[in-house]
Structure 1
Amino acid sequence: MTKDQLPARLFTRRRALLAGAAAAGAAGGAGLFTSFTGDEPVLRTPAPAPAAGPQARPARKPSAYRLEPLMGYGPPKAAPRRTLVRRAPLLRVSGRGRRMVLTFDDGPDARYTPYILDTLREYDVRAMFFVCGEMVVDNKDLLARMADEGHVVGNHTWSHPLLTRLSRGRMRREMERTCDIIEESYGERPAWFRAPYGAWNRTAFQLGAELGMDPLAWTIDTLDWTTPGTGTIVGRVRDGAAPGVVVLSHDAGGDRSQSVRALRAYLPRLLDAGYHITVPERHYA
């Protein structure tokens, strides 16, 4: 080897060493080292070297890791609303303008309630239905329709008893059982309660509040349950109409054909007179 050939040969060996180091670095970067068993190469993943400083925390399950950043950052839970225990039922609705509320008790009844709903829908009016649980059992579709059309469903007990003659336990069962079936059929629990026959006592107010309901009575009693005649029912509503008035009628409990016909007569007259037929808003303590 001549003196002139030596630098070139050293340069060639240096390039080969550098190329080999680069290849080893690439393999290490990929986390792979090659060993041999017999004739076949085997790829192994080396254990990572411990990082400098404090030891890393143990790896967590993916689901826990995904959820942890979300914990504690959601909106605060609102405190449950407390319903005031009243000493008397509400008789009127508040608010500006010529507002009135139409209410129907004792249903639903497949013979009469659909016709009342048809009339209300025709005039784009919302009303309240105080239902009895035992009547809902075979007419759940009517409560679903009430929900779809924007009406309010209230609790009128399960079997329409005189509450003032019941024990506290029996009274609660009458009310709570009705709340349950209303929620099942209507989609939410009732916010209003009306005692059958308008017979209230302290226990009824307390239990109603415990179940999240306000007591609502009425201002005008059409006495339609006595079947006084369609014209008489219409006259009672017409003569008693005033801002804030709550009208009591029935859509079950007997022959309610007069009530159906009376609604078709007085509802357009009330609207023509400038009354806004609405449903009441809840007031919380």
Structure 2
Amino acid sequence: MTRLLLAVGLIAMLGITTGCGPQSEARQPGVGAQAASRGAVGTKYVYITFDDGPGPTYTPQILAILRRYGVKATFFEIGQNVRKYPAVTRKVHQQGHSVQNHTYSHPDLRKVPAATFRSQVQSADRYIRAQTKSQPRCLRPPYGGVNTTVRRRAAALGKTIKLWTVDPRDWSRPGAKVISRRVLASVRNGSTILLHDGGGNRSQTVAALPTILRTLKARGYTFRLVSCSGH
């Protein structure tokens, strides 16, 4: 009996484990650290979004830049532009980007009757669906125009409203350097960045995009598609 007690005491002093329970991890100190490291990879992320396309000039240029940097983006497209340039929408979709609803003709949804609201959303859906074979679930109201009525009507049509958190006002054409500086100064983990590939001359947005993507990647950000079931 005395020998047995001495043996048990010796085992405890040496820290020998049987491989069962939480102590088994103590034999492999690197495992926990490696797992934590894997869990941390990709935790910094942003959403890059483009409004008002598609268009025959700037959307393809933006697609080429996104492809060069291996980035996926979400395009909130206007139905009447999809109708004019269906092949561009197909290309956006085929390259793995998300195509979502930005209404048919870009009205302020706060100022339209219910029938017009429904027509604007459903018409855009129809043209997008014809090119992507997928039903848009996100709705980005033009001008960011949202109130209780807009949210209620959108929900009735099965749409989740998605706005943005970083707006460099690229549509005002302040210069490519200003656009990139505004984005990079404001971006945070989980930010949704608003840019434009349609609605006017977007050459400055095209020129700013490589700097934005390159810098965000250097800062450790990854890029996600906007999810309409919540981020």
TM-score normalised per structure 2: 0.79
Unmatched 5+ stretches in structure 2: 1-41
In the alignment, which residue of structure 2 is the partner of 1:132? 78
Which of 44, 62, 75 is matched with 1:98 structurally?
A: 44
Matching residue within 57, 69, 76 for 1:111: 57
Aligned residue among 90, 95, 110 for 1:149? 95
Q: Write out per-residue CA displacement over residues 44-101 of structure 1, whole angstroms, 9 at most, x where no aligned residue.
A: xxxxxxxxxxxxxxxxxxxxxxxxxxxxxxxxxxxxxxxxxxxxxxxxxxxx711100
Aligned residue type for 1:189 = Q
Distance of 1:282 and 1:195 partners within structure 2? 14
Q: Between Structure 1 and Structure 2, whose CA radius of gyration is higher?
A: 1
Query: 68, 74, 78: which is aligned to 1:122?
Result: 68
What is the CA distance between 1:219 and its match in structure 2?
0.5
Equivalent position SS for 2:194: strand
**1:149 counterpart letter in structure 2:** Q
Alignment partner, residue 156 of structure 2: 210
> Offset of 1:202 from its aligned partner?
2.5
Contact 1:168–1:203 (Cα < 8 Å) also in 2: no
- Within the candidate set 206, 212, 215, 1:269 is matched to 215
1:98 aligned partner, one-letter code: K
1:196 aligns with 2:159: no
Aligned CA-pair RMSD: 1.3
2:25 matched residue in structure 1: none
Task: Read off the aligned partner of 1:181 and give its amino acid letter.
Answer: Y
Output aligned runs, 1:205-284, within 5 Å. Answer: 205-283=151-229
C-alpha distance in 2, partners of 1:278/1:231?
24
Q: Any residues of structure 2 matched to 1:4-83 within 5 Å, and which?
A: none
Is the contact made by 1:237 and 1:266 (CA closer than 8 Å) also made in structure 2? yes
Cα distance in structure 1, aligned partners of 2:47 and 2:205: 16
CA apart distance, 1:147? 1.5
Question: Matched residues in 1 for 2:104 and 2:229: separation?
Answer: 25
1:207 positional shift: 2.6
Structure 1 runs, 4 residues or longer, greater than 6 Å off? none
- How far is the alpha carbon of 1:166 from its aligned partner? 0.6
Instruction: Indicate the percent of aligned positions where both proteins have the same amino acid.
Output: 36
Counterparts of 2:88 and 2:82, CA distance in 1: 8
Greater helix percent: which structure?
A: 2
**Alignment coverage as a number of residue pairs:** 189
Task: Please tell me whether the aligned partners of residues 147 and 187 of structure 1 are also in contact (alpha carbons under 8 angstroms).
Answer: no
The alpha carbon displacement at 1:192 in A equals 0.6
C-alpha separation in 1, matches of 2:226 and 2:133: 19
1:114-148 Cα deviation digits (max 9, x unpaired): 00000111111110100100111121111111221
Helix, strand or coil: the match of 2:88? helix
Q: CA shift at 1:203, angstroms?
A: 2.8
Residue type matched to 2:111 in 1? R
Q: TM-score, normalised by structure 1?
A: 0.64
Summarize deviations over 1:217-255 as a string: whole Å, max 9, x none.
Answer: 100001001100000000011101210000001111111
